Chain A
Amino acid sequence: MSPKTLYDKIWDAHVAHVSDDGTTLLYIDRHLVHEVTSAQAFEGLRIAGRKVHAPDKTIAVPDHNVPTTQGREDPAQMTEESRIQVAALDTNAKEFGVHYYPVSDVRQGIVHIVGPEQGWTLPGMTVVCGDSHTATHGAFGALAHGIGTSEVEHVLATQTLIQQKSKNMKVEITGKLMPGVTAKDITLAVIGETGTGGGTGYVIEYTGEAIRDLSMEGRMTVCNMAIEGGARAGLIAPDQTTYDYVNGRPHAPKGAQWEAALNWWKTLFTDEGAHFDKVVTLKGEDIAPVVTWGTSPEDVLPITGFVPSPSDFTGGKVDAAARSIEYMGLTPGQKLTDIEIDTVFIGSCTNGRIEDFRAVAEVVKGKKIKDGMRAMIVPGSGLVRLQAEEEGLAKIFEDAGFEWRLAGCSMCLAMNPDQLSEGERCASTSNRNFEGRQGYKGRTHLVSPAMAAAAALTGRLTDIRDLI
């Protein structure tokens, strides 16, 4: 048998039907659902008189619209439209009998944090969700990607997805990371290297010592942004770190089933000699703490860098860079560490897990954020919030001057009350710096949690290595 990649193996284990032209029906093990991209899909089922094929494999949670402030049960905290959208999910989840974590449930949170936390996401699975950051679940060695609403309806009705196989791409991060460098810096550095279209048509497998050394939280951060590099999915082969994270979670297998699952999971790696269509290698030692200067996640530079000039680029990127620099209110040649920040957002499916918050606490413990700074920390789930409170992190944040919020997507995409105002400039641990992403005319610099914490203290983009 010819050697296979990890992607090949998961794909092969889920092919339910192949047509003569190669079009494949891929069986879906887990379907995660949130309120923004599902209402029209459930409505489609209703109109056609269809049921959800596998409600036991379907998990719904509201996250994008929900406010993150205390007292959010009060409907007045949401706009009428948000209220309708969340209410529609509530109705649909109950009517179609899928697993559901409503806003009132302590387990509620961002769908990509809740799935792994509850043990819904397991190695070797196929996982989809009407959200591009579904790539997050690839950290478990699960083939996970975002789908549109028509595909959400297709999966609800049939538990399959019509797919063409992607190509295989390997991203290897060799060696060790230097102090102050995190999973977020790895994933941004890779996008800086490949561009936002570099992964288009591929499924990426992240390998190498620096990846193996990451915790599950860190691996989720890396895979989360595979989509920002254009890839359909990101994958990391499961290992002892993965098994230790999964073991004992509410929906993880137990007893004999655990043993059987483990036996299969241990076969989920890329065979020696398997073919990759594209390979990118970065040295862990070469990766610096990075920051984005523009309005595309590929606009990445080490924090020691300078705002580029449009003339540094070629082709269509010249105009795009000029537009970005103007939108961001920057000057070519400006030192990145001279850029002043008025808002800090820490959270999102990229960096809203316990490890991220421990990193922040380490930086801000016993210190105060800069006067006038608006800084918020938003846990990825109610359980992350509880754990951070138990570990004393919440107290550290509040003492330093951060707002400590309830779980949700919050200012990552600003569909809820958490938004930037026109011209506000934010150091953000989220995943997209697009124009208007965090609020109309808001300006976003993507950074790691430690770098966001440092910026909150100093009031400007800051090299975390100067504080450690």
Chain B
Amino acid sequence: MEKFEKLTGIAAPMPLVNIDTDMIIPKIFLKSIARTGFGKNLFDEMRFNRDGTEIEDFVLNKPQYRSAEILVAGDNFGCGSSREHAPWAIADFGIKCVVSTSFADIFFNNCFKNGILPIVLPQEQVDLLMKDAEKGANARMTVDLESQEITTSDGEVVAFNVDAFKKHCLLEGLDDIGLTMEKKASVDAFEAQASQARPWV
């Protein structure tokens, strides 16, 4: 997995609440058996007309946000399905960090598996970052995972929390499966004990 350490980039404002996984990547694009190539269909129905032309007023089609690397979003971002195609599409587009007051649980976990940092902040601070994002391409934010701080284009600093294990994995770009394999002895012991206790499983 790609590491996430520190990122300075353009933040795109998407204040709509309840942006769901069908909006992020409509199901007709879930049929690939690869992990890559989903970025071109990110937010497809919000971003493109049926004939493939761009919908001008969609935020990521505006010239100042076309190369956004951060999203500042409304409440409950990523609700809906478990499709990892959603974070795959976000990462493939080039977005590495999403900020909101809340995320759907499965989407939140999926982000960390794909080098994306989802940050939960109180409404007031999301509002502050949303305002900063609305300034456009000249206003770049910095997200520093090590120090757990976002710095706005005006130099305001917003601290955020992140689970210590998830932070470690993102900073190092670690592979979960490899880490779990190191605990094989514990898992094997559990499995042996559980198959005695609950042999019907």
Give the B-binding residues of A (Cβ under 8 A). 13-17, 19, 21, 23, 25, 27, 29, 36-37, 39-40, 43, 48, 50, 57, 65, 79, 81-82, 84-85, 88, 122, 124-125, 130-132, 134, 145-151, 153-154, 157-160, 162, 164, 196-197, 200-201, 227, 230-232, 252-253, 257-258, 260-261, 264, 296, 298, 315-317, 319-320, 323, 413-415, 432, 434-437, 440
Contacts and interface: CB of A to CB of B under 8 A. Distances in A.
B45 A201 contact: no
Q: Which 5 A-B residue pairings sit nearest by Cβ, starting from the closest?
A: A253-B200, A81-B31, A150-B113, A146-B82, A316-B17
A200 B16 CA distance: 18
Contact of A162 (B22, B35, B114, B176): B176
Nearest to B50: A440
B30 interface: yes
A145 B201 CA distance: 18
A283 to B, nearest CB: 27
Given A200-B102, A317-B17, A122 B199 contact: no
Contacts of A415: 27-28, 30-31
B7 interface: no
B164 A40 contact: no
B83 A37 contact: yes
A85 B33 contact: yes
Contacts of B23: 434-436
A157 B177 contact: yes
29 contacts: A16-B190, A17-B183, A17-B186, A21-B165, A27-B190, A43-B33, A65-B31, A84-B31, A125-B201, A134-B82, A147-B106, A148-B106, A149-B35, A149-B84, A150-B84, A151-B109, A151-B110, A157-B177, A158-B177, A158-B180, A164-B163, A196-B18, A230-B79, A257-B200, A298-B18, A316-B75, A413-B27, A435-B23, A437-B22
Contact of A158 (B20, B74, B187): B187
Given A79-B31, A435-B45, A320 B106 contact: no
B173 interface: no
Contacts of A39: 33
Given A122-B200, A230-B79, A25 B187 contact: yes
Contacts, number: 188
Given A27-B191, A85-B31, A196-B76, A148 B84 contact: yes
Interface of B: 15-18, 20, 22-23, 26-28, 30-35, 45, 50, 74-76, 79-84, 87, 102-106, 109-110, 113-114, 163-165, 176-177, 180-181, 183-184, 186-187, 190-191, 194, 198-201
Contact of A320 (B17, B181, B190, B194): B17
Contact of B176 (A85, A124, A154, A436): A154
Contacts of B87: 148
Nearest to B18: A296
B187 A320 contact: no
**Residue of B104, B105, B176, B194 contacting most chain A CB atoms (<10 Å):** B105
B45 A440 contact: yes
A200 B201 contact: no
A50 B201 CA distance: 23
B17 A36 contact: no
Contact of A264 (B32, B79, B184, B198): B198
Contact of A230 (B27, B30, B76, B84): B76
A131 B104 contact: no
A125 B198 CA distance: 10
Contacts of A15: 190
A253 B27 CA distance: 38
Contacts of A43: 33
B122 to A, nearest CB: 13
A261 B190 CA distance: 18
A158 B181 contact: yes
B97 to A, nearest CB: 18
Nearest to B199: A257
A315 B102 CA distance: 14
A436 B22 contact: yes
A130 B82 CA distance: 6
A367 to B, nearest CB: 34
Contacts of A65: 31
A418 to B, nearest CB: 12
B200 A260 contact: yes
A278 to B, nearest CB: 15
Contacts of B20: 296, 432, 434-435
Nearest to B1: A150
A150 B114 contact: yes
Given A147-B106, A197-B76, A201-B105, A154 B180 contact: yes
A319 B15 contact: yes
A261 B50 contact: no
A23 B45 contact: no
A197 B16 CA distance: 14
A16 to B, nearest CB: 4
A147 B107 CA distance: 9
B131 to A, nearest CB: 15
A146 B33 contact: no
A21 B176 contact: no
Contacts of A323: 16
B177 A154 contact: yes
B82 A37 contact: yes
Contacts of A134: 82
B183 to A, nearest CB: 5
B82 A25 contact: no
Contact of A435 (B22, B103, B104, B187): B22
A342 to B, nearest CB: 20
Contacts of A81: 31-32
